């Protein structure tokens, strides 16, 4: 089961007798907000499951003449004689099994529940399916209703608890905390004492495995509870490393499994084996800033720029997707990495504030500022400085893929962008400026810069907290 069909693909997948009614039902709904199961058997007896937003489910329900909303299950409809369940989901366009913050919260709470049942309650799960046979399964269903039809996440929950049993069989955890309690304590401490507004930019742990929550909070408080300005985050890291080693407090970062077997690695505890004997470098054939413009859709070929990093054997390690924080308003860039299948989900988002410091590092001394106010806001403003950006385009197009090759087309496309999708036009100029700065560096410095970016995204280094990652 894979929810990969958008609205048009779903209509194509539908039997002939269903196509017209389904097309009418989905009219007025954005194509990429529909996620239909591609494994549906296309029979009148089987149920076709389609995920979409609550708003879309309401729209579909208002159009359907034979539909019933069932709490916790979504909209059950009969369309052209076929059974379709429209499931409310937080999944967003472009995601693969992912979702918004609400869905992520449910998934992480579900992970904590399964671990708690397995490790604290000593409930033995022999397969992913056996979780559904648990006498307390309704508790999990209440936390994450989609698990009842989401086999991929059920497999993830099973794999996570299995590897936790393997790695921490002798630990004496009493709690798996995702919010409130220790999570609130450590997040508040980072913000109030160390000036770190987002805990994840220091330590990406999604849940905390804790032996004794009150003792852990008291121990940390006793060590850092003074007003010395010289006290740094390194001191907190040292305390947490000691507690991690003693299995008193273990932070775990959770990722959806890419296969049936979970993998586990520890970071900022001791030697990071992930980086043994590896030399990273930019993999230029896999890098791209798409500056083409789709006239029919009135948008750029893509919203983002992709910068790829390879290992010393020239195999892809990860790709950084650089794009704006939002598509509806002019905003600054963010830097998100996606690991290759071979390396697993070992990296993540590079903290924007730390990347800004990286730009200013004496080794690179880049002039790029991730500040949208420094870039043209209108086509007229762009025209006044277009020669500067034409020069950037000419340099960057010689280094990586830009899809288009002519300066005139570049200028025309940016102008169209300002007319039809202004936030993306500004973002594209910011991305181009960043690429220009990176590729002005010597090859050695380019590779060093991308390696530094990898470490920031993976939250590895003395300034980051200790954590384990399951992926």
Separation between Cα atoms, residue 67 and residue 263, nearest integer Å = 43
Distances (CA, A) of 364 to 132, 398, 399, 440: 53, 21, 18, 10
User: Where do the domains of the chain lie?
Assistant: 3-88, 100-262, 281-458
DSSP of 165-205? HHHSTT----EEESSSHHHHHHHHHHHHHH--S-GGGT---
Paired tokens of 343: 């390396």
Residue 95 pLDDT: 44
Instruction: Tell me which residue has tokens 């305390």.
Output: 239
Question: What pLDDT tens digit does each residue of the chain (471 aa) get?
Answer: 567 788 999 999 999 999 999 999 999 898 888 999 888 999 999 999 999 887 888 889 888 888 888 766 788 999 999 999 998 875 554 444 444 677 888 899 999 999 999 999 999 999 999 999 999 999 998 898 888 878 889 999 999 999 999 999 889 999 999 999 999 999 999 999 988 988 999 999 999 999 999 999 999 998 887 655 545 788 899 999 999 999 999 999 998 887 788 999 899 987 554 454 456 889 999 999 999 999 999 999 999 999 999 987 778 888 999 999 888 899 999 999 887 755 555 577 888 989 999 999 999 999 999 999 999 999 999 999 999 999 999 999 999 999 999 999 999 999 999 999 999 999 999 999 999 999 999 999 999 999 899 889 888 888 899 999 999
What pLDDT is recorded for position 97?
A: 43
Crossing angle of the two packed helices 16-26 and 54-63, in degrees rounded to 10: 110
3-state SS assignment for residue 456: helix
SS3 317: strand
Nearest residue to 309 (alpha-carbon basis) of 335, 272, 340 = 340
Whole-number Cα distances in Å, 296 to 129, 293, 299, 301: 46, 9, 8, 11
- Cβ proximity of 151 and 157 under 8 Å: no
What is the Cα–Cα distance from 446 to 130, expressed in whole angstroms?
Answer: 49
Task: Dump the DSSP string for 369-429.
Answer: ---GGGS--SHHHHHHHHHHHHHHHHHHHTTSB-S---HHHHHHHHHHHHHH-HHHHHHHH
Of 410, 381, 417, 412, the residue nearest 297 (C-alpha)? 417
Beta strands (DSSP E) in 237-390 are 249-254, 264-267, 281-282, 288-289, 293-294, 299-300, 305-310, 316-324, 333-339
The Cα–Cα gap between 170 and 181 comes to 24
Can you give the pLDDT at residue 211?
Answer: 97
Burial classification of residue 216, based on how many CB atoms lie within 10 Å of its CB (0-12 exposed, 13-18 middle, 19 or more buried) = buried
Provide the pLDDT for residue 231.
Answer: 58
Measured in Å, how far apart are the chain's first and last C-alpha atoms? 20
Quote the DSSP letter at residue 121: S
Burial 22-52 (b: 16+ CB within 10 A, else e): beebbeebeeebbbbbeebeeeeeeebbbbb
Residue 322: beta bridge partners?
A: 305, 335
98 and 256 Cβ atoms separated by less than 8 Å: yes
Looking at residue 157, its pLDDT comes to: 97
Tokens 């389904």 correspond to: 22
Distance of alpha carbon 248 from alpha carbon 244, whole angstroms:
6
Q: What distances in angstroms separate CA 13 from CA 66, 81, 85, one per listed residue?
A: 21, 16, 16
């Amino acid at each position: 089961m894979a929810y990969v069909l958008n609205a048009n693909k779903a209509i194509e997948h539908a039997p002939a007798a269903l196509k017209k009614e389904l097309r009418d039902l989905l009219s007025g709904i954005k194509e990429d907000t529909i996620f239909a199961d591609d494994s549906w058997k296309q029979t009148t007896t089987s149920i076709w499951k389609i995920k979409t937003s609550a708003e879309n489910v309401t729209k579909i329900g208002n159009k359907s003449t034979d539909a019933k909303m069932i709490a916790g299950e979504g909209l059950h409809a009969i369309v052209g004689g076929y059974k379709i369940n429209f499931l409310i989901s937080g999944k967003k366009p472009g995601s693969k099994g992912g979702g918004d913050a609400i869905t992520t919260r449910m998934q992480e709470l579900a992970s904590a529940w399964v671990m708690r049942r397995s490790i604290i309650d000593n409930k033995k799960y022999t397969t992913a399916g056996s979780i559904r046979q648990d006498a307390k399964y309704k508790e999990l269903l209440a936390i994450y209703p989609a698990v009842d039809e989401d086999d991929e996440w059920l497999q993830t929950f099973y794999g996570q608890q299995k590897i936790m049993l393997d790695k921490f069989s002798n630990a004496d955890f009493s709690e798996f905390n995702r919010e409130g309690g220790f999570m609130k304590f450590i997040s508040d401490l980072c913000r109030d004492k160390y000036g770190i507004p987002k805990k994840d930019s220091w330590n990406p742990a999604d849940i905390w495995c804790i032996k004794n929550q009150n003792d852990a909070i008291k121990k940390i408080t006793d060590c850092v509870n003074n007003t010395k300005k010289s006290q740094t985050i390194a001191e907190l890291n040292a305390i947490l490393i000691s507690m991690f080693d003693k299995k008193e407090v273990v932070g775990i970062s959770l990722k959806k499994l890419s296969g049936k077997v979970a993998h586990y690695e520890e970071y900022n505890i001791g030697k990071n084996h992930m980086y043994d004997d590896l030399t990273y470098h930019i993999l230029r054939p896999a890098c791209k800033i798409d500056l083409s413009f789709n006239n029919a859709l009135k948008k750029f070929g893509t919203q983002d720029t992709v910068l790829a990093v390879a290992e010393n054997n020239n195999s892809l390690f990860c790709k950084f997707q650089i794009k704006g924080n939002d598509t509806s308003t002019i905003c600054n860039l963010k830097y998100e990495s996606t690991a290759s299948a071979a390396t697993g989900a070992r990296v993540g988002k590079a903290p924007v504030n730390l990347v800004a410091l990286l730009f200013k590092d004496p080794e690179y001394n880049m002039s790029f500022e991730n500040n949208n106010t420094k870039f043209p806001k209108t086509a007229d403003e762009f025209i006044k400085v277009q020669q500067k950006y034409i020069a950037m385009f000419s340099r960057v197009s010689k280094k990586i893929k830009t899809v288009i090759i002519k300066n005139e087309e570049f200028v025309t496309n940016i102008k169209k962008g300002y007319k039809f999708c202004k936030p993306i036009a500004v973002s594209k100029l910011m991305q181009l400026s960043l690429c220009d700065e990176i590729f002005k560096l010597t090859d050695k410095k380019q590779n060093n810069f991308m390696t530094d970016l990898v470490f920031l995204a993976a939250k590895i280094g003395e300034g980051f907290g200790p954590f384990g990652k399951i992926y």
